Chain A
C-alpha cells in the first residue's frame, strides 16, 4: 500500500510539472496555430539559468523569475525576428522553432557542459512533510499547489477578463476579432511571451524532479506534446487532464514495468488518436 501511495504522489507531482510545461504550449498553439518545438530547449534554458541564479543569490524566487525571464526574452526575440518573417506558413514556423531549439540546446551544452545539474534547494524545502498517508518531500507538494494555482489563474483570466475574451475571440475567428478592433498580432506576441515564460519557470521547478542534462529538451518537448495531443491542442482543460493521465501512467509504469515505462507513456496518446483524433477536449479541425 505504501508503494501505491508513493507512486500516486509521484504521478501527481509529474502531472503538476507536465501541466506547467504544457499549458503555455497549448495556449500558444490554440491562438496562433504555431507549435513551438523549441519548447523543450526553452525549458532547459530556463532551468540552467535559474539554477545558476539560485546558486549565486541563494534565492529560489529570484531563480524562478530569472529562468522565466530568460526564456521569455529568447521567445520574444524568436517571435519578432524569425517567426514573423514566415507568418502564416505553419510548417515553416514549426521548422524554424526546431532549428532554434537545436541551436539553444547545443549552446547550453557548450556553456554548462554535459554533467547533470540538480536544483540546490534549502533544507526546509527538501524535508518531507506528513500528508496523513505517508511522508512526502515538501517541495513536491509545493509544485502540486503551484500547478493548481497556475491552472486556476489561467482559467480565471481566460474565462472572466476582457483579455481572456479577446484571446478566445482570436482563437475562434482571427479575422472577425481583428475587425472588432482587437490587436491580434500583439495578443499573439503576448501569449507567446507568457508561454515561453512558463516553459522557463517549468525548467527551474522541474529540475527538483529531473536533473538537467543533455537530451532533456527532447524529452520535455515529447512529454508536452503527448499531454496536449491527449487533451486536445489549444485546450487548457485538456492540458490539465492530459497531464494527469500522462503523469499517472508514467509513474505507475516506472514503478511496475520499468522496461516499458517510456513506451507506456505513449499508450494513452495512441488510444486517443484512434478513437478521438482531436483529443479529449479539442475541436475537430
Chain B
C-alpha cells in the first residue's frame, strides 16, 4: 500500500523534473511516450480486466485524430469544440464497435477487432475526398491562448502530462472500485458473476466504451503532436506496437503499459542506430515477452522486490492467475 504511493510520488517527481532537465528532443520523445502510454492503457484496460485483446484501440485514436484534423483544418472550428466533437464521435464509434463485439470472446474478439480496425483503415485510405487519402491532412496545430503557444514542446508537455496523469489516476481508482472488481470477476468466472445478479454484458460494454474514449484522448494528442493525420496510425503495425508495449510492460498492472511504452521507445531508439528493421524488432520483442515473461516486466520487477522483503510470499503470487 505505502509502496504504491511511493512509486507514484517518484514517478510524478520524474515527470516534473523531465522538462526542466532534459533537452527538446527528450521532451518531445516524452510527449510521444505519454500519448502511446494512454493508448496502451486503453488496450490494457480490456486485456487485463476482461481478457479482451483488442486490435482496434489505435483505430479509436485514429478516428479521434481524423475528426480533429477534418474539423480543425478543413472547417476551422475552434479548438474546444473540435476536441469535444472528436471525443464524442470516438465514443460513439466505440459504442457501435462495442455492440458488434460484445458477444465475442478471446480469439474471436481479437479477430473481430482486427477486421473492424482494418475496415476503418481502409476507409481512411480510400475515402480521399474526406481524409485526403495516403497524403492525409496536414497543418493540424494547437491554438495560442493568452500569449501561450500550446505548440511549443514544453507547453504541450505540461498539457499532455497533466491529462495523462489524471487519466492514469482515474483508472487506478477504477481498478479498485466495485466496477473494476466486477470486470476481474467476469474474466475469472462469468457464470458466477451472472448468477450473482451482476449485469455482465453491460459491464463489458461499458468497459469497452470507456477504453475507446481513453484511446480517443490519445488520438487528440497524437494528431496535434504529429501535426498531420494520415492512415498509417490506423494500420495494423500501430495496433501491434501498442499491444507489444502492453504485453512487454504487463497489461495486468496499472503502470505496466506505461513501462512497456517507455522501454519499447528506448529500445527502438537504441536499435535504430544499427538497423532499420523496425517491425522485426517489435515482432521479436512480442515473441520473447510471451514466451519468457507472459505477465510482463511490471510483474518481474514486483516479484524481485517482494522476494527481497518477504521471501515466502513470492511463491504463492506467481502460481495464481496465469493466462486465463
- Residue of A99, A101, A103 ringed by the most chain B CB atoms within 10 A: A99
B286 touching A260, Cβ below 8 Å: no
CA distance A229 to B118 in the complex (A): 14
CA distance A233 to B105 in the complex (A): 13
Known: A225-B115, A229-B115, A266-B119. A102 touches B282 (CB 8 A): yes
B106 touching A99, Cβ below 8 Å: no
Q: Which B residue's beta carbon lies closest to that of A215?
A: B235
CA distance A89 to B294 in the complex (A): 11
B100 touching A274, Cβ below 8 Å: yes
Q: Is A277 interfacial (CB-CB < 8 Å)? A: yes
Q: Which B residue's beta carbon lies closest to that of A261?
A: B126
User: Least Cβ distance of A111 to chain B in Å?
Assistant: 12
Q: Is B200 interfacial (CB-CB < 8 Å)? A: no
Interface size on B, residues (CB 8 A): 45
Taking CB atoms, residues of chain B closer than 8 Å to A212 are none
User: Least Cβ distance of A36 to chain B in Å?
Assistant: 11
Chain A interface residue bracket vs B: 35 or more
Q: Is A8 interfacial (CB-CB < 8 Å)? A: no
B240 touches which of A91, A96, A102, A110 (Cβ 8 Å): A102
Taking CB atoms, residues of chain A closer than 8 Å to B313 are none
B240 touching A98, Cβ below 8 Å: yes
Q: Is A174 interfacial (CB-CB < 8 Å)? A: no
A270 touching B283, Cβ below 8 Å: no
User: Least Cβ distance of A68 to chain B in Å?
Assistant: 24
> Which B residues, 87 to 108, have Cβ-Cβ distances below 8 Å to chain A?
99-101, 103-108
Known: A229-B115, A274-B100. A99 touches B127 (CB 8 A): no
CA distance A260 to B119 in the complex (A): 10
B286 touches which of A89, A95, A218, A221 (Cβ 8 Å): A95
CA distance A266 to B116 in the complex (A): 8
CA distance A96 to B287 in the complex (A): 6
CA distance A82 to B322 in the complex (A): 18
Q: Is A156 interfacial (CB-CB < 8 Å)? A: no
A285 touching B105, Cβ below 8 Å: yes
Q: Is A149 interfacial (CB-CB < 8 Å)? A: no
Question: What mask results when residues 308 to 324 of chain B are scored 1 for a CB within 8 Å of chain A, else 0?
Answer: 00000000000000110
Taking CB atoms, residues of chain B closer than 8 Å to A103 are 279-280, 283-284, 287
User: Least Cβ distance of B245 to chain A in Å?
Assistant: 13
Q: Which A residue's beta carbon lies closest to that of B47?
A: A91
Q: Which A residue's beta carbon lies closest to that of B323?
A: A89
Q: Is B125 interfacial (CB-CB < 8 Å)? A: yes
CA distance A270 to B122 in the complex (A): 15
A106 touching B115, Cβ below 8 Å: no
Known: A92-B290, A222-B118. A262 touches B110 (CB 8 A): no
Taking CB atoms, residues of chain B closer than 8 Å to A229 are 111-112, 115
A99 touching B119, Cβ below 8 Å: no
A222 touching B280, Cβ below 8 Å: no
CA distance A274 to B322 in the complex (A): 33
Q: Is A258 interfacial (CB-CB < 8 Å)? A: yes
User: Least Cβ distance of B239 to chain A in Å?
Assistant: 10
Q: Is A269 interfacial (CB-CB < 8 Å)? A: yes
User: Least Cβ distance of A39 to chain B in Å?
Assistant: 11
Q: Is A283 interfacial (CB-CB < 8 Å)? A: no
Q: Is A265 interfacial (CB-CB < 8 Å)? A: yes
A92 touching B279, Cβ below 8 Å: no
Can you pick out 13 interface pairs between chain A and chain B where the beta carbons lie within 8 Å of each other?
A37-B114, A85-B291, A89-B322, A95-B53, A98-B243, A102-B282, A102-B283, A106-B277, A106-B283, A221-B114, A260-B127, A262-B122, A263-B126
Instruction: Using CB atoms and an 8 Å cutoff, list the residues of chain B in contact with chain A.
Output: 51, 53, 99-101, 103-108, 110-112, 114-116, 118-119, 122-123, 125-129, 235-236, 240, 243, 247, 277-280, 282-284, 286-287, 290-291, 294, 322-323
Q: Which 7 pairs across A and B sit closest by C-beta, in order of nearness?
A: A262-B122, A102-B283, A266-B119, A103-B283, A99-B287, A99-B286, A106-B280
Given A95-B247, A98-B286, A266-B116, 8 extra CB contacts under 8 A: A91-B51, A91-B107, A101-B283, A102-B279, A103-B280, A262-B125, A266-B118, A273-B100
